[in-house]
């Protein structure tokens, strides 16, 4: 798992982001289940649009366990990424990805500046610090602007 700002920089390009949503809330049943917690627990929700050379490349929708990261809503995610901050305050010990090809909805098309028939790569990610799930993220990339690469060893 990588920081999108670093990935963009490694390609020799410029990253910037736009914070669309940052709010504290009570977890819905679905959010609580994905965090391994309880309904109505305190969470944060954020939506960030990431750019590479002024072209949108990712919508990052995230819920965060507020009891583990109580200052999440005080961060400047236009300057630093959520990934960068979370790795500092609750370093990941375990993670999981679910990767799917999907068609975006109308709002996602507008945000990513793509047509309705352009497939996107959706990555659903959960990360743990110790035994606790810290965050659940949905990362949506236009298919024409994203490559998934991994290197594995024994």
Quick one: which of 35, 32, 62, 59 has its CA closest to 122?
A: 59
pLDDT of residue 105: 98
pLDDT of residue 152: 65
Q: In this predicted model, what pLDDT tens digit does every residue of 33-87 receive, in sequence order?
A: 999 988 899 999 999 999 999 999 999 999 999 999 999 999 998 888 999 999 9
pTM given for the model: 0.93
pLDDT band with cut points at 50, 70 and 90 for residue 151: low
pLDDT of residue 109: 98
CATH code for the domain defined by 4-145: 3.40.1410.10
Asked if pLDDT for residue 142 goes beyond 90, the answer is yes
d(CA 101, CA 59): 15
| Helices and strands, counts by H and E, the chain | 4, 6
Residue ranges per domain, the chain? 4-145
d(CA 144, CA 154): 32
| Mean pLDDT score of the chain | 93
Tokens 């990339």, residue located: 141
Please give the DSSP secondary-structure letter assigned to residue 11: T
Q: In this predicted model, what pLDDT tens digit does every residue of 20-33 receive, in sequence order?
A: 999 999 999 999 99
């Amino acid at each position: 798992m990588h920081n999108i700002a670093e990935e963009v920089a490694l390609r020799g390009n410029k990253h910037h982001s736009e914070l669309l949503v940052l709010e504290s809330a009570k977890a819905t049943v679905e959010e609580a289940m994905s965090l391994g917690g309880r309904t109505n627990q305190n969470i944060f929700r954020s939506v960030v649009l990431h750019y590479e050379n002024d072209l949108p490349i990712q919508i990052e929708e995230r819920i965060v366990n507020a009891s583990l990261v109580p200052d999440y809503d005080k961060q400047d995610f236009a300057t630093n990424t959520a990934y960068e901050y979370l790795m500092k305050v609750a370093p990941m010990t375990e993670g999981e990805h679910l990767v799917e090809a999907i068609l975006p909805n109308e709002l996602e098309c507008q945000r990513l500046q793509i047509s309705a028939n352009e497939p996107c790569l959706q990555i659903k990610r959960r990360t743990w610090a110790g035994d606790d799930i810290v965050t659940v993220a949905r990362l949506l990339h236009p298919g024409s602007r994203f490559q998934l690469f991994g290197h594995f060893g024994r």
